Structure formats: structure tokens, C-alpha cells
Amino acid sequence: MAANPELHVLMVSQPYQGHLNPMLKFAIRLASKGIHVTLATTEIARHRMFKHKTSIASHLETDSENPSIQLAFFSDGLTLDFDRDANFDSYLNSMRIAGSENFSKLVTNLTNKGQKFSCIIVNPFVPWFVDVAVDHGIPCAMLWIQACAIYSIYYRYFKNVNPFPKFENPNESFELPGIPSLKVKDLPSFILPSSLPCFYEIVSEFVKRLDKVNWVLGSSFYELEEEIVKSMDSLTPIYPIGPLVSPLLLGEKESDSVSVDMWNTEDSCIKWLDNKQECSVIYISFGSITVLNQQQVDNIAMALKNTKKPFLWVMKPPEKDSDKKIGELPSEFLEETKGMGLVVTWCPQEKVLMHKAVGCFMTHCGWNSTLETVVAGVPVIGHPNWTDQPTNSFLLAQVFKNGVRMKFGEDGVVGAEEVERCIMEVMEGPRSEEMRSRAMEFKVAAKKALEIGGSSYGNIKKFISEIIGKST
């Protein structure tokens, strides 16, 4: 569908891969409906994209078949060589002040060039930019890039809608509408006392600004979190418009897909998978941020060796000059598992999850990976670490019931026996068929949600109709 020059949406996000991915995928959905989209983020993202020659940059800037999506950049107020990870508090403060000012200047500059924005769509982790939209008199939407359950928890906690425990006992149980009995350890880490104050503050700030937001859109889909979505209807509703995953996972043409990996664009592993039996391979990946210590790496390696099952393990090295130390594989491990396993530093995750040889996904349970495995119909072994991951792992095991969650020891490490137990339970245990069946049910529901007449199709259509109404 050709872009409507009268309908232009400005999206803005933090520069992280896990934040840009869902924003871009929603941009592609909107562009397919005839809406022109500008996706804005900080200069550090431009630097990473072109330094690593990523496909996102080349596609959006040179693809003449998709001129309805453009990139724009603004400064976060810091130099390119400033270590934002090591000084995250300072980075967030600069984004709050200098970033907001520079984003506002970007809006002004684009407007002066004749671009009239019908809506600004913000990422929840740049809540201050809601004020920029208000200052410019532009309707504002928030694209919630985590589970609807996380949105509900944050909302109810910071708005004091429901009582919460004191967080002293990690095993203390309590109830929230739409969610089965939770324990403190199942909550997103940003509201716990162990979290850095800057993380707590950023979530608090986004909740405070919800009164200024016209729409809250979710990257999930209704059928996946039905009771949770319904529980928010009487408060500040969330409208799922996902799953925001690659069109490839939804059975659409590869040409409609955009790779947004910011580190590597080279396919690997697929030929190796082609030679494996159906549902036989354990796929292991803990995302781009999680770093496992040596003991955890050793325990996973021992469990894999003991199960004697094929495995594909992605061990992404830390960024160059990073002070993060990742555990190394035992020296004898690769030799002992030769022919049985493959260890790589990167793989095309969506294509891997779609492969018939993959039997389960051992994951950190980041929401992007969670959505991808749900849409692919692959059962899960959850190894959550922080932020929303414990809640996502809880959802997978207790609500979606398409996987299991590892039990951590008192030292914060999952033992080899526990890793092995989880692998065997998902791959061939008494509940393995049930998990696989549930996974396939969600795979079908995910595709239907975005088809004509589907729940997400309807929510996207309603959103577009409303921004057209406000712009006229």
C-alpha cells in the first residue's frame, strides 16, 4: 500500500537492540497500512549501525521499495566514547534533560521541513518524551515493549491500585487481577529493593505520565494474555497490536522481513540443523546482555553432555573493551561433544526457532525472545536474570504452560542436575507433549491475531482510525 503523505507518525526509542526491534516491526506494520513513519533514536545508535554495517541502516536508507520508513537521530548530550553502560545513571539523567531538549529540536526541525506528525509513539523507557509530544501539541501513544502482565504490575504498584507485599521474603505469595498467584521472586526486578534507583525511577516516571498518553499499545497479542488485558480495561487499557516479531515467523514472505540485528547479518547454523532429526535439538541463547559466570557455564555444559542430545549454543562475547567477563567452555567440552553440538557467537534466531529440528529453547526470557518462541511454537526452558525476565519465565511456566523455569540455588547459580532435569522434562518428560501442544496452539493464535478480523488487526485498525480523526 502506498504511503499517505498526510499521515505521518514519529516513533522514538532508546538505542538498544531490544528496544529498537519492536519499534521497527510496528513501523513496518504501520507502513503496510499506508502510514509514513520516522523512527528516531540517539546518535550512538547511528554510530553502531554504520560501524557494524547493519542491515537495518542499509535497508531503511536505501530500499526504494520501502520509502515510507525513515531514520532520524538526535544527541543524548554525551560524547560517543562515553561509557553509558558503566555510567547508566548519568546517561539516563542526560537523556532526561539534554535528550529531551534535542528530541524536541528534532521535532521542530522536521516540522519546519513540512512534516506534520499525526502522532508521536514513545518507548516506555523514554518517558520524558511524552512531555515533548504534549509541548508540540501532538497526540501521543506509548508502545509497551514488554508483556501486558508487566504493564499491569507496574501500573498497579505505582498507582497503588492493589496491595503488594514488602518484598522481604522472595517466596511470599500474593494475588493480582488476571494473574495466577505470584511470588515476590516472580516480580520484575525494577521495583525490588535490590534494583538500582535509576531503574525504579524510570518506571515510576512512565506510569506518572500515562495520563498524558492517548493510547497504550502492547507488543503482545490478546489471546496470549487475555485475562491480564481484560483486567486493565477499567483502569488505563492496553491494546495488544502484536505479536511484534519478524514476518518470517508469521509465515509471510522473507522480502517483507527486515533484519534488525546490530552486530551481525551473516546466517549460520541452518545447514547444521538440516542434518538433525525433527524436534531433537536444544537451542541455547541468553540474549545480547546476559553474561553467565564460569560456574553457570560449567553446569550447563555438564548437563548437555549428560543428556547426550544435540544442541546449538550461542555464546555472544562481550563488547570490545567491555569489563564484563563471560564464562568459558571447559577445555574438554567441545571435544567430548564433537558431532553432537555446535557453539557459535551469533545465529539468525528467528530462522533457528522456525527450524523443524529445534525441540526446545533455553532462554533468558527477554520479551522479544519470549514472543519469538511463542510464535514459533517452540517449548521453553527459562533461565531468567533481571528486569522483566522472572515474570516472563513465570508466565511461560504457569500461565502459558509451554515450558519450565529453572530453580536457582542459594548461590544464584542453577546446578547441573537442575539444568538436566529441565531439559529432560521438556524434551521427553510426562508433560512434554502437553507443552508442545500448548506451544502449537499459541503459534496458530499468533498468526490469526494479525489476520483480517483478528484481535491485533482490529486494534491496529482502530488506532489508525483514531489518529486520522485527531489529525483532522
Could you tell me if 219 and 237 lie in one domain? yes
Could you tell me if 223 and 237 lie in one domain? yes
Could you tell me if 217 and 239 lie in one domain? yes
263 lies in some domain:
no
Number of folded domains that form the chain: 2
Strand ranges of the sheet holding 403-405, from the earlier edge strand across to the other edge = 341-344, 311-314, 281-285, 358-363, 380-382, 403-405
262 lies in some domain:
no
pLDDT at 266 over 80: no
pLDDT for 14 equals 95
pLDDT at 25 over 60: yes
Separation of alpha carbons 240 and 340, rounded Å: 40
Tens-place pLDDT, residues 36-70:
999 999 999 988 876 655 545 544 544 445 568 99
Asked if the peptide bond before residue 193 counts as cis, ω within 30 degrees of 0, the response is no
- CATH code of the domain covering residue 370: 3.40.50.2000
Share of the chain above pLDDT 90, in %: 79
111 lies in some domain:
yes
Q: What does the pLDDT average to over 239-256?
A: 83
Could you tell me if 222 and 274 lie in one domain? no
Could you tell me if 112 and 190 lie in one domain? yes
pLDDT for 351 equals 93
Kindly report the CA angle at 269 between 265 and 274, in degrees rounded to 5?
Answer: 135
Tens-place pLDDT, residues 288-344:
777 788 999 999 999 999 999 999 999 877 655 555 566 788 888 988 998 899 999
Backbone angles phi, psi at 99, to 5 degrees: -60, -45
Tens-place pLDDT, residues 388-402:
999 999 999 999 999
Read off the pLDDT band of 2 (50, 70, 90): very low
Could you tell me if 212 and 161 lie in one domain? yes
Residue numbers of the domain that contains 205: 4-257+450-471
pLDDT for 339 equals 86
Could you tell me if 363 and 301 lie in one domain? yes
265 lies in some domain:
no
Cell reading at 463? 488506532
218 lies in some domain:
yes
- Beta strands (DSSP E) in 69-138 are 69-74, 119-122
Tens-place pLDDT, residues 303-317:
999 999 999 999 877
230 lies in some domain:
yes
pLDDT for 470 equals 76
pLDDT for 324 equals 55
412 lies in some domain:
yes
pLDDT for 258 equals 44
Read off the pLDDT band of 378 (50, 70, 90): very high
Q: What does the pLDDT average to over 99-128?
A: 96
Could you tell me if 340 and 253 lie in one domain? no
Could you tell me if 323 and 460 lie in one domain? no
Read off the pLDDT band of 129 (50, 70, 90): very high
Backbone angles phi, psi at 32, to 5 degrees: -70, -15
For every residue of 242-270, DSSP letters joined together read ---S-GGGGT--GGG-----SS-----SH
- Of 404 and 323, the structure prediction assigns the larger pLDDT to 404
Q: What does the pLDDT average to over 393-422?
A: 96
**The model's pTM:** 0.92
Cell match 531503574: residue?
Answer: 199
For the chain, what is the mean pLDDT? 90
Cell match 518507548: residue?
Answer: 123
181 lies in some domain:
yes
Could you tell me if 76 and 111 lie in one domain? yes
Read off the pLDDT band of 253 (50, 70, 90): low
Helices and strands (H and E) in the chain: how many: 18, 15
pLDDT for 244 equals 96
CA atoms within 13 A on the CB side of 295: 7
Could you tell me if 437 and 459 lie in one domain? no
pLDDT for 264 equals 43
Type of residue at 29? R
Could you tell me if 214 and 95 lie in one domain? yes
Separation of alpha carbons 235 and 232, rounded Å: 5
